[in-house]
Amino acid sequence: MTLSYDLYWSFRSPYSYMVTPRLLALEAEHDVLCNVRPVYPLAVRTPEFFDNQDPLWLRYFMVDVFREAAFLGLPFRWPRPDPVQRGPDGDYRVPQPYIHRLTHLGVAAAERGRGLPFLAEVSRVIWSGEVEGWHEGDHLARATERAGLDWDELAASVDADPARFAAIVEQNQADQRAAGHWGVPMMVFGGEPFFGQDRFDQLVWRMKAQGLQRRLTQGPD
């Protein structure tokens, strides 16, 4: 029996980037299906969340993300440009030229059955530091093709009807909260939320208790 879970995920979340290779490997090796449900980052949906944070929160966060990437063996650099823009005073309540379209592209990729590969390829372009100007040239197009999708078709579908994709994202966000949390990455399996990339092992543990099976492979015995 194929198990399935919902993945609430943001293109602005370094921890979302960090968990995705493990989720891809899980699906490749086991009979499990990831339902990709992209959401906007907190900085866009609830920018007031950051208004009264203790200064230690950001200081610790910036230490932890680089440490965690190194621990996982993943290339990492804060994106240039940041997928979410800030005003001169640090306020996120400014025009956002990147994050909405990125999120809608993730929804479109999920609709075509290639959501998880798309998240993996695009987030690596954004977060790894392996390319300069992830938003320029053909970086996103090439990442889309590596994910098994046609960039021109995908981009055209998103640009033709942004309101439909925005409505899907809003529903994802409502369902995420109903499932028990607002942060990303968040995996929901059997009605149980697993918030954070550091809950991956517990997710797999719970799946094994529910009969998670390795995929059958062909080849010599």
Domain presence at residue 218: no
Specify the CATH number for the domain of residue 149.
Answer: 3.40.30.10
**Per-residue confidence (pLDDT) for residue 137, from 0 to 100:** 96
Answer for the pair 3, 33: CB distance below 8 angstroms, yes or no. Answer: yes
**Residue 155, both tokens:** 């981009």
Domain presence at residue 163: yes
Q: What is the mean pLDDT of each run of 10 residues along the chain (221 residues)?
A: 97 98 98 98 83 85 97 97 89 89 98 98 98 96 98 98 98 98 97 98 98 76 38
**Residue 3, both tokens:** 């198990």
Q: Give residue 124's domain range.
A: 3-209
Answer for the pair 3, 31: CB distance below 8 angstroms, yes or no. Answer: yes
Domain presence at residue 216: no
Helix, strand, coil share (%) of the chain residues, nearest 5: 55, 10, 35
Domain presence at residue 168: yes
Domain presence at residue 215: no
Q: Which residue type is seen at 219?
A: G
Closest C-alpha to 92, from 80, 84, 101: 84
Q: Under DSSP, is residue 88 helix (H, G, I), strand (E, B) or coil?
A: coil
**Length of the chain measured in residues:** 221
Q: Where are the alpha helices (DSSP H) in 47-183?
A: 55-72, 99-111, 115-127, 139-146, 151-160, 162-179
Which H/E stretch holds residue 6?
strand 3-9
* Residue 154 vs residues 38, 56, 100, 137: alpha-carbon distances, Å: 15, 41, 15, 16
Provide the domain count of the chain.
Answer: 1
Helix 99-111 × helix 162-179 angle, to 10°: 80
Domain presence at residue 217: no
Domain presence at residue 221: no
Entry pTM: 0.94
* Dihedral sign for Cα atoms in the order 150, 161, 96, 24: negative
Domain presence at residue 115: yes
Answer for the pair 173, 100: CB distance below 8 angstroms, yes or no. Answer: no
**Per-residue confidence (pLDDT) for residue 126, from 0 to 100:** 98
